[in-house]
């Protein structure tokens, strides 16, 4: 759509909505993606308290978050996403963002949604599936250059003298 002269186009989307959210998205059996949107005020408060830390927990055994995380990440300031790789397939994960003080005490400020990773499917019986592709039909002799060229046939013409 071409804008008409003198009219404004659609408004630009904002870079963020100034909400403090942590969302987990499953990427595959062993990969979970964490999306963070935190306000500048939240980041400032977080960094004044200690270092920003992201914990990932295996919450497969009920809704309670375990005492120790599967993994812990020290986040660089203003990080907006993180990939957790090499996770156990078929488990449910929950993340928490918070700060850790110099004594190692973690204070959780934001908790994510639960994200259930799929189980890794077994190979089909007999190994990987194979597909047979039919061979193309043979090329004609003229395409291969093996047919001899026929001599040109003289056709009658009204231009002959």
Tokens of 90: 């078929």
Q: How far apart are CA 106 and CA 55, in angstroms?
A: 9
CA 43: distance to chain centroid?
25
**CATH no. for 21-116:** 2.60.40.10
**Tens-digit pLDDT profile for residues 69-94:** 999 999 998 899 999 999 999 999 99
pLDDT of 134 reads: 77
The string of pLDDT tens digits covering residues 105-152 is 999 999 999 999 999 876 666 666 677 777 777 777 666 766 666 666
DSSP alpha helix (H) spans, the chain: 40-49, 141-144
Q: Is 149 exposed, middle or buried (0-12, 13-18, 19+ CB in 10 A)?
A: exposed
Six token digits for residue 95: 């993340």
β-partners of residue 21 are 37
Of 22, 18, 20, whose CA–CA distance to 112 is shortest?
22
How many whole angstroms separate alpha carbon 159 and alpha carbon 155?
11
Six token digits for residue 81: 């996403």
- pTM for the model: 0.66
**What pLDDT was estimated at residue 149?**
63
| Percent of the chain predicted with pLDDT > 70 | 76
Return the pLDDT at 16: 74
């Amino acid at each position: 759509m071409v804008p008409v002269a003198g009219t404004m186009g659609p408004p630009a989307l904002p870079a963020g909505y100034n909400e403090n959210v942590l969302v987990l998205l499953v990427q595959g059996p062993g990969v979970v993606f964490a999306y963070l949107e935190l306000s500048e005020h939240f980041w400032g408060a977080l960094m004044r308290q200690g270092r920003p830390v992201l914990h990932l927990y295996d919450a497969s055994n009920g809704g309670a978050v375990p005492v120790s995380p599967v993994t812990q990440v020290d986040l660089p300031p203003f990080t907006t996403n993180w990939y957790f790789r090499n996770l156990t397939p078929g488990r449910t994960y929950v993340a928490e963002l918070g700060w850790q003080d110099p004594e190692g005490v973690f204070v959780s400020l934001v908790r994510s949604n639960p994200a259930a990773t799929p189980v890794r499917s077994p190979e089909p019986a007999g190994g990987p599936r194979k597909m047979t592709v039919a061979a193309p039909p043979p090329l004609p002799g003229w395409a291969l250059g093996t047919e001899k060229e026929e001599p040109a046939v003289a056709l009658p013409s009204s231009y002959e003298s």
